[in-house]
Amino acid sequence: MMNLVKNLKWGLRWGLTMAVGFTAIGIVATIAASFDPTPRDDPSLASFVGFYFLAGIVGGLVLGLLRPITRYKVGAMLVGTAVAAISVGLLARIYVATDGWTLVDTFLVALYSLVAGPVATLMIWRVRARRGTAFSDLSDPNQ
Q: Residue-wise pLDDT tens for the chain (143 aa)?
A: 789 999 999 999 999 999 999 999 999 998 888 888 888 788 888 999 999 999 999 999 999 999 999 888 899 999 999 999 999 999 998 888 888 899 999 999 999 999 999 998 888 888 877 877 666 665 444 44
Instruction: For the chain, give percent helix, strand, coil, nearest 5.
Output: 80, 0, 20
Does some domain include residue 19?
Answer: yes
Kindly state the DSSP code that residue 59 receives in the 8-state scheme.
H
Does some domain include residue 143?
Answer: no
Residue 126's pLDDT is: 82
42: domain range? 2-137
Residue 142's pLDDT is: 45
* Cβ-proximal residues to 126 (8 Å cutoff; 6+ apart), any chain: none
- The answer to whether residues 79 and 69 touch, using CB atoms and an 8 Å cutoff, is yes
Does some domain include residue 120?
Answer: yes
Residue 98's pLDDT is: 80
* Cβ-proximal residues to 22 (8 Å cutoff; 6+ apart), any chain: 52, 56
Does some domain include residue 142?
Answer: no
Measure the CA–CA gap between 95 and 88, rounded to whole angstroms: 10
**What domain count does the chain have?**
1
- The answer to whether residues 8 and 66 touch, using CB atoms and an 8 Å cutoff, is no
Residue 1's pLDDT is: 76
